[in-house]
């Protein structure tokens, strides 16, 4: 018992470094988008943000792969064979693209997705073993390579931002290959029941959709329905909202192996529901009061008359972050009913809003009402 307690204590201590590294990586990703907002013209930044949101949604395949690494882990020997093969194949593909000077936005997005899938899968293999130190190194490395790629002198600034994604994931794969030359633990934190593989795959897929859909779906909607100026302004505002969501994702990644093992993380009741609503309101108010000044005086970005979007967007994404944590708990225990309800209803809301001619504020208010009602339903059914 003592050795077991010590092992878990060591795992939780290492997890602290993962929190710090994930925060650093998230900050670097955030500065990547801020740099894009500063370097690119409004028109270029609007187009790039819509492209990035679209690629990020398809990148749900990589989050799906990471979740599979958690739900269905392989031995290290098999993982080593998969990663070395994937790295060699991706490196050859990238060399061929660069050699032929192909700079298609679509193709670069496709490369980023192809490179991200094996990288994320291996991160999941580390996550289920609570190897947070190795995860920390990989996540920070990918963020640094992505940010550093924006200074490449060979191409115009806009091309550098499009190229940054595939370059960063290729760097992550190379780091994975080097990491596997060193001993890797075969300890699994969770007990795996392989009798429910189909449910585990569905749970992995749903969490992947939520993880990438929540911070990007609003940008996609605005990009498809609004004028170019509104798209550019909203893309800058949503940067703040993404920071709120990704901060909670650090916690979500850490508790996922524990949730899979059957440990209860949250005690849901009416009091906690209203406490959460208050926290969302406080977060939105704090962002509304502070971020316009920071954007204007530090990043030279004037939000103008659209500051109300900032408040409602932050409140909405805080609600969705809470729903994500609840959905992750259900998926970890292979209870897919409520996560599926969220997925189906939100797709319906998205298309209803798209074809009814709503403006940005009307869409945000509709989204906030929907997620508030869904949270109440979730708590009452627990």
What's the pLDDT band for 144 if we cut at 50, 70, 90? Answer: very high
5 or 311, greater pLDDT: 311
Chain mean pLDDT for the chain: 80
End-to-end CA distance of the chain, in Å? 33
What's the pLDDT band for 122 if we cut at 50, 70, 90? Answer: confident
Kindly tell me the burial class for residue 247, based on how many C-beta atoms sit within 10 Å of its own C-beta (0-12, 13-18, 19 or more).
Answer: middle
pLDDT for 147: 93
pLDDT for 189: 47
pLDDT for 5: 44
pLDDT for 264: 61
What's the pLDDT band for 176 if we cut at 50, 70, 90? Answer: confident
What's the pLDDT band for 143 if we cut at 50, 70, 90? Answer: very high
Least confident of 58-67, 320-329, 368-377: 58-67
Q: pLDDT digit string (tens) for 267-289?
A: 666 778 888 899 889 988 988 88
pLDDT for 141: 93
CA distance 44 to 170: 25
**pLDDT above 90: residue 193:** no
pLDDT for 247: 75
CA distance 6 to 14: 12
pLDDT for 315: 92
324 or 131, greater pLDDT: 324
73 or 344, greater pLDDT: 344
pLDDT for 4: 44
Kindly tell me the burial class for residue 3, based on how many C-beta atoms sit within 10 Å of its own C-beta (0-12, 13-18, 19 or more).
Answer: exposed
pLDDT for 212: 75
**pLDDT above 90: residue 146:** yes
* Positive or negative: CA dihedral 128, 129, 131, 137: negative
């Amino acid at each position: 018992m003592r050795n077991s307690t010590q092992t878990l204590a060591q795992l939780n201590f290492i997890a602290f470094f993962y929190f710090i590294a994930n925060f650093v990586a998230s900050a670097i990703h955030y500065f990547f988008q801020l740099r894009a907002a500063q370097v690119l013209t409004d028109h270029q930044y609007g187009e790039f943000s819509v492209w990035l949101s679209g690629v990020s949604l398809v990148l749900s395949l990589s989050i799906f792969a990471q979740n599979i690494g958690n739900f269905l882990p392989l031995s290290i020997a098999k993982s080593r064979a998969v990663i070395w093969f994937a790295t060699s194949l991706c490196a050859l593909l990238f060399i061929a693209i660069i050699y032929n000077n192909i700079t298609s936005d679509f193709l670069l997005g496709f490369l980023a997705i192809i490179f991200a899938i094996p990288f994320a899968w291996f991160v999941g293999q580390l996550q289920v073993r609570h190897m947070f130190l190795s995860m920390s190194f990989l996540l920070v490395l990918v963020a640094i390579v992505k940010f550093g790629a924006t200074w490449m002198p060979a191409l115009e600034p806009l091309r550098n931002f499009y190229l940054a994604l595939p370059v960063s994931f290729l760097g992550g794969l190379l780091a994975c290959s080097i990491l596997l030359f060193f001993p890797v633990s075969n300890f699994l934190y969770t007990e795996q029941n392989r009798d429910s593989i189909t449910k585990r795959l569905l749970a992995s897929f749903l969490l992947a959709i939520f993880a990438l859909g929540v911070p990007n779906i609003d940008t996609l909607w605005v990009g498809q329905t609004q004028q170019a100026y509104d798209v550019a302004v909203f893309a800058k505002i949503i940067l703040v909202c993404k920071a709120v969501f990704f901060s909670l994702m650090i916690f979500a990644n850490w508790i996922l192996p524990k949730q899979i093992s059957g440990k209860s993380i949250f005690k849901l009741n009416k009091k906690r529901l209203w406490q959460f609503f208050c926290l969302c309101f406080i977060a939105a108010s704090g962002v509304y009061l502070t971020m316009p000044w920071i954007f204007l005086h530090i990043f030279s970005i004037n939000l103008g008359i659209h500051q109300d979007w900032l408040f409602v967007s932050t409140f909405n994404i805080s609600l969705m972050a809470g729903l994500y944590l609840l959905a992750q708990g259900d998926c970890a225990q292979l209870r897919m009913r409520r996560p599926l309800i969220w997925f189906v209803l939100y797709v319906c809301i998205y298309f209803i809003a798209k074809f009814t001619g709503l403006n940005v504020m009307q869409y945000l208010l509709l989204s906030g009402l929907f997620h508030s009602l869904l949270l109440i339903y979730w708590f009452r059914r627990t």
